[in-house]
Amino acid sequence: MAANIVPFPRRGANDNFIDPNPPQPGLRSFIVYDELPANCIAYEAPNDDTEPHIGEGEFAVIDTEDRALINGELYLIEWKSGIRDDRRQLVLLTARPGRYGKRNADGSWSHTEWEECSMWFLGGYKRRQFRTFGGECVGPPLRWVDGPYDDDGVLDRMIGRVVGIYQPNFLPMLRRAA
């Protein structure tokens, strides 16, 4: 970790504590790094799906060793199928209780037996609205998600948890070039 970055323990942003009366509901704070910590990679957000936390063009710091499943946290995943140009995506991990099919002995999902449990859903943070061909918004904003996934299904796609924003300090390089 860079010498000028001092992590501090706090409740709310990167732990499982839920404040019943948050001062700014839905907002989190990330540590801004000017050097990548050990076991971390940087990933450029290609769109605004995770705003206001990470904007388009900003670099998220991903801890590739932090793969604990935490409801409400942002993760970098890699999709296993589809026609995407970039199979990697920053997603919000959300647990939803419900009635889901049981897993069979061969690993497939039963369509006749059900159980009450929580499953995981992956999707962007930002809510989108349907629009008419004329461009008018229709209905309430919705958050698009993919799922349900069990723990293994999420871990199979996961690269790591978002732990910060990467903003390198270019001043030393600029001074050397001058």
Residue with tokens 């390089």: 173
Instruction: Give the pLDDT of the chain (178 residues) as one tens digit per residue.
Output: 333 333 333 344 444 444 455 555 555 678 888 889 999 999 999 888 888 888 889 999 999 999 988 888 899 999 877 665 668 889 888 888 877 777 777 877 777 777 777 788 888 777 777 778 887 878 777 767 777 888 888 899 999 999 999 988 766 666 666 6
> Whole-prediction pTM value?
0.70
Structure tokens at 96: 């939803």
Residue type, 86: D
> What is the distance between the alpha carbons of residues 32 and 16, in angstroms, rounded to a whole number?
21
Class of domain 32-177: mainly beta
What 3-state class would DSSP assign to 159? strand
What 3-state class would DSSP assign to 95? strand
**Which pLDDT value is given to residue 176?**
67
Structure tokens at 46: 């290609």
**Which pLDDT value is given to residue 16?**
43
Alpha helices for the chain (secondary structure H)? 151-157, 171-177
Residue with tokens 């919705």: 142
